[in-house]
Amino acid sequence: MSAPERLSAAAAIAELAEGRLSAEALARACLERAQARAAISAWASLDPERALALARALDRRGRPGILKGLPVGIKDVIDTADLPTEHGSPIYRGNRPFADAACVAGLRAEGGLILGKTVTTEFANRFPGATRNPHNEAHTPGGSSSGSAAAVADFEVPAALGTQTGGSVIRPAAFCGIVGYKPSFGEISRVGVKMQSQSLDTVGILCRSLEDLPFLRGALLALEGRALAQKGPPRIGFCRTPVWEAAEEPTKALLERTASRLSAAGARVSDLAFPPTFAGILEAHERIFFFEAARNYAYEFEVHAAQVSEVLRTRIGAPGRALPLALYIEALEKAEAFRAYCDDLFAEFDLILAPSAAGEAPFGLESTGDARFNAIWTLAGTPSLTLPAGRGEKGLPLGVQLIGRRYRDETLLEAAYWVSLQLD
């Protein structure tokens, strides 16, 4: 058996189920790794004694449920009853929620061990936290699910929850070289999650193997955690998106190579371009995001303005509050039309191939990177995931993004499994 902390979630669950590994031993290995790698700053709250006591309790109960005592990290905008939830903001320092978020309660019900809370950008927005990319500490891990992505990539926890409003699961997963999954909009409950945008916010999963996802998704949705089935070659739409020019050359080359490789393996790969009607679809995402976030942070802006970052106040708050209601409604209507258009695409395709990010993780910690390659699909409400697929010129990970039809997440996972086998 590999070092326990290096096991994928699926492999760890198998070891836990067979009794070859205890929940306490796995939790201890993860905690020791987190302590040894404290410079990555992946954790907002970590209480080793609490985590080990929970692990021992799970062992005494026979490691129940789908997850069998698997440690999971929780992004610090998601409520936990036994750990602080601080939202990456000094306003909420020491905040102790009364109850778990629904997604956390679902994990616990299936034998999940909440190892700790992972660092988030301020309110899952733009102002970054202290987390560093484990592949190169001088580079961003992405955001806003920065701590979740870094902790999973750095073998500090097998899996973690994140949230995505623009690109906050897919992009950090790609930057850190792991698997990120954003389900169909609304599939996973957001009760107990700090609301940024009611039209866009989505709870997602970060892990190290595509085969981990059925177990974690099963726990969150009270479904059976069964292994992915091998299917035949899918029909793939290669979508360069309206912001293809923003992609770096290594990313463009990776996507072109991936499309050719999948075609050679038997997939039917066709180019896909949005009609002119949706050339400016990202403007609709921005309007919805700004309008809703500016109002959802009314308490913070009005009561604690001095403790809100300048980025949030001036780049989100002021423009969002100034946005006319008519333009917001127009953006909502355009989003609905875009979702219907995307639904229709899947009469022709089983999945869509697109960039996960513009390129490698940018240098420095001041920015978490460009979210536009993800925001398109967040607006569409479609399930999407990123698979590690190579390295860039700086030696940092690159990913490819796969998108499926709304509410057909299992179909996407099965098609993505075929893709993953071709990409090895």
- Positions annotated as catalytic residues are 75, 144, 168
Q: How far apart are CA 222 and CA 354, in angstroms?
A: 30
Sequence letter at residue 208:
R
Residues 231 and 414: beta-carbon distance below 8 Å = yes
* Peptide bond between residue 144 and the one before it cis (omega within 30 degrees of 0): yes
Strand partners, 73: 116, 160
Residue 197 CA, distance from chain mean position: 16
Helix, strand counts (H, E) of the chain: 15, 11
Please state, in angstroms and rounded to a whole number, the distance separating the CA atoms of residues 358 and 355.
7
Distance separating alpha carbons of residues 280 and 79, to the nearest angstrom: 35
CA distances 88 to 13, 128, 132, 315, 377, Å, are: 31, 9, 15, 18, 25
CA distance 156 to 296: 33
Joined together, the tokens standing for residue 418 give 């075929």
Q: What angle do CA 379, 231, 111 make, to 5 degrees?
A: 70
Q: Using a CB cutoff of 8 Å and minimum separation of 24, what contacts does 152-155 make?
A: 152/73, 152/176, 152/178, 152/206, 152/207, 152/208, 153/177, 153/178, 153/208, 154/33, 154/37, 154/40, 154/42, 155/3, 155/5, 155/6, 155/30, 155/33
What's the start-to-end Cα distance of the chain, in Å? 21
